Amino acid sequence: MIDIAVLRADPDRVRENLRKKFQDNKLPLVDEALALDEKRRALQTEGDGLRAARNALSKQIGQLMREKKAQEAEQVKAQVNADAARLAAIETETAEVSERLKAIMMRLPNFISDETPIGRNDTENVERERFLEPKVPDFEVPYHVDILERLEGIDLDSARRTSGQGFYYLLGDVARLHSAVLAYARDFMIGKGFTYVIPPFMIRSDVVSGVMSFEEMDGMMYKIEGEDLYLIGTSEHSMIGRFMNTTLPAEKLPLTLTSYSPCFRKEKGAHGIEERGIYRIHQFEKQEMIVVCRPEESEMWYDRMWHYTVELFVSMGIPVRTLECCSGDLADLKYRSVDVEAWSPRQKKYFEVGSCSNLTDAQARRLGIRYKTEKGSAYAHTLNNTVVAPPRMLIAFLENHLNADGSVDIPEVLQPYMGGTKKLTPRS
């Protein structure tokens, strides 16, 4: 959510930002918000005047009563009662106008960075850097589910019977590898100075509406029937929600946190849940990182955070590249975002395995996250980034470490988390 003072002072900047994000349908909201803001301020001015007059009239009534001018005192009392009725109406109308204004302001997207390329969708994202040389082996790389099945590491049929499409059972060494990657990512981030957190996996609606746009919420979140609770789509939701309506001590910033959680997503509006694959699913686990910091630090942390993800993948021998997300691919709260994509030897192309975003103060405004300053307080900046998210990451891992005989090499950094295992061998 942007600052109403900015909208009031420079509405053309807001309109230009909407055009850059190809959200021309929201242009009428600018004038509507300005009109509501003007009406709200007029109501507040009238209300302040009536409150001030009430105090003066109350004193006048007392004076008239002391002077035994009862009839004049009754006339003033009538005025006080009329003003009180009008004040009550003003307060009701102000609340209604403020609520409508807030709803509009929450639909206006955050300002995008000057570094953000202009484009309509993810096909116009811009490649920035590559890390490690992508390789294609001299043997055919099977589909990832075929690799998993030969390792006796997955059961999709049973998951369909118990839960439906978009779920899976991981088994044996593959399940252990899944947990090993998460444990390694946890320790990797702790080594970078981040505090490890396991957050709640359900959050209330006021947190949901604070951490994401309404469009995202509708497309992602599972609602718990009969409860004001939603299953989280990522631990960022409850991690950022932890600081809702708080003013943080300045000396505590930056807050650098890394969290583990399962994630639940409807994937509404996506290209569909694969029949056999585990690339797009309803449930997965993830290691996340978030930062809450001062505004002047957020771009530094943005750059540092996505580099951590790249470093993690490179340490496991997985080639990756970074893509700067274009304006049309940015969610409404994002100021800037970069996707980390891993190399797929089977497809001979890269695919997304994580995303790093700087939301500046847009999320903090919705949630009321402030920090103390010499002049009072200011809104903090919030950032989030995927450290690693199996099982999508497992696809890249298996393809890049597959041998011609179907075995899968375990990188040295993961071997301690696998009980010293250096290779997974097919059982069938």
Q: What are the sequence ranges of the domains in the chain?
A: 4-105, 122-424
First to last CA, the chain: 54
For residue 336, give the H/E element and its range.
Answer: strand 336-344
- Residue 366 confidence (pLDDT): 94
| Contact indicator for 283, 263 with CB cutoff of 8 Å | yes
- Residue 323 confidence (pLDDT): 97
Measure the CA–CA gap between 172 and 86, rounded to whole angstroms: 72
Window from 4-18, 112-126, 269-283 with minimum mean pLDDT: 269-283
Q: Do domains 4-105 and 122-424 have the same CATH topology?
A: no
Rounded to an integer, the average pLDDT of 107-119 is 96
| Contact indicator for 378, 370 with CB cutoff of 8 Å | yes
How far out from the chain centre does Cα 187 lie? 23
How many C-beta atoms lie closer than 10 Å to residue 97's C-beta?
20
**Closest among 288, 259, 207, 255 to 380, alpha carbons compared:** 255
pLDDT tens for each residue of 336-364:
999 999 999 999 999 999 999 999 999 99
Measure the CA–CA gap between 240 and 369, rounded to whole angstroms: 9
Rounded to an integer, the average pLDDT of 186-191 is 98
- Residue 273 confidence (pLDDT): 52
Predicted confidence band of residue 428 (pLDDT cuts 50, 70, 90)? low
Pick the CATH number of 4-105 from 3.30.413.10, 2.60.120.260, 1.20.272.10, 1.10.287.40: 1.10.287.40
Is residue 56 scored above 60 in pLDDT? yes
pLDDT tens for each residue of 226-268:
999 999 999 999 999 999 999 999 999 999 999 999 999 987 5
pLDDT tens for each residue of 66-102:
777 777 777 777 877 788 888 899 999 999 999 999 9
Cα angle, residue 161 at apex, residues 145 and 143 outer, rounded to 5°: 10
Q: What percent of the chain has pLDDT over 90?
A: 81
- Residue 63 confidence (pLDDT): 74
Is residue 275 scored above 90 in pLDDT? no
Measure the CA–CA gap between 96 and 78, rounded to whole angstroms: 27
* Token pair of 314 as six digits: 């490179």
How far out from the chain centre does Cα 334 lie? 8
Rounded to an integer, the average pLDDT of 62-66 is 73
Rounded to an integer, the average pLDDT of 137-158 is 94
β partners of residue 340: 322, 354
Span 122-424: which CATH code? 3.30.930.10
Is residue 313 scored above 90 in pLDDT? yes
On average, the pLDDT of the chain sits at: 92
- Residue 302 confidence (pLDDT): 98
Predicted confidence band of residue 274 (pLDDT cuts 50, 70, 90)? low
String of DSSP letters for 372-415: EETTEEEE-EEEEEEEE-TTHHHHHHHHHTB-TTS-EEPPTTTG
